[in-house]
Structure 1
């Protein structure tokens, strides 16, 4: 993982993904100086998800997709797009949970819990089950974080029962679609390149 993280970018997509990571780090600094602690915290919360695809050695396109979607999700919160754009919340939960579930599959493969995509033991039906499980678990965890943030930190965080259920349903659907993608598209970069 360390070698993948420190490896210089080689493709346009890898440079773009590193650019998204740089924007993510800068956005935290900018929010910490000129915005609220809540905004800086939301953006900082996204940083591990921006860095993980690089450490895992995901292909440039997959790395870029994960980073861009996660950063858009965080920035949407800062600019209050979830309240001002009808349906935006559901679109972002679908996409963000999907890329998190796909990345989660790669993490589980690295831990030896599921077979990696290129191995003889890999079966395309496996990510169709595993990715939705990861996505629903991540959705539940996210909704608990939102609830705790509203309950203990600030009432600026929007939480209702209907919103929570809708977010989790769209997240589960996004994770199912991600499972279909993981079933047929290799996410990891060829280690020989």
Structure 2
């Protein structure tokens, strides 16, 4: 995976994906100067996630989608879209949890925990079954972070029973869509090999 991280961009789409990561880095500086320190902290917390698609060797288009969604989710906090735009919270939870679920599944493939699409042991039902569980787990963690932010950092972060259940439901649905995507579309580059679990006699 380090090779993927250090690999220079080779196509216009890969340059765009890396440019978005630079935007994410510069956004921290802008937030620190223009907004509150907590806003800069939110963007800084999102920065490592922008590197995950590159580490995993995803296709350029999915890299662009992933980084864009993560940036939108982080900046929505900074400019208060979650509280000012009705339904935006659910949309972001649906889309962002779906993206993070797909990335998590690819990471599990890299770790040889589950088979990838190119492995003989791969079955469509594997990501379709596992992805909702991953998404709900990520949604629960997301809600814990929101609660911590509300309790410790700023009470302006919206929390509550209805909010939590709605967010987790949206995240679970997004993860289900991500499972279908993982099962049917190649999300890794063709010039990178996701290691498959060893089989006896190979």
Q: TM-score range by the shorter chain?
A: over 0.9
Say which one has the larger Rg: 2
1:51 aligns to what? 51
1:78 aligns to what? 78
Structure 1: 5+ residue stretches without partners: none
The alpha carbon displacement at 1:37 in A equals: 1.5
2:189 aligns to what? 189
**TM-score normalised over the length of structure 2:** 0.92
**TM-score normalised over the length of structure 1:** 0.96
Spell out, residue by residue over 1:59-113, the C-alpha distance to the aligned partner (whole angstroms, 9 max, x if none): 0011111100010000111010111111111111000000000000000011111
Give the secondary structure class of the aligned counterpart of 1:156. coil
Give the secondary structure class of the aligned counterpart of 2:38. helix
1:121 aligns to what? 121
Distance 1:117 1:42 in 2: 34
Structure 2: 5+ residue stretches without partners: 194-202
1:173 aligns to what? 173
Distance 1:149 1:159 in 2: 10
2:139 aligns to what? 139
The alpha carbon displacement at 1:18 in A equals: 0.7
Distance 1:114 1:175 in 2: 17
2:16 aligns to what? 16
The alpha carbon displacement at 1:8 in A equals: 1.2
Runs of 4+ in 1 over 4 A off after TM superposition: none
Task: Say if 2:46 and 2:71, in contact at 8 Å, map to a contact too.
Answer: yes
Number of residue-to-residue matches in the alignment: 193
Give RMSD over aligned pairs. 1.2
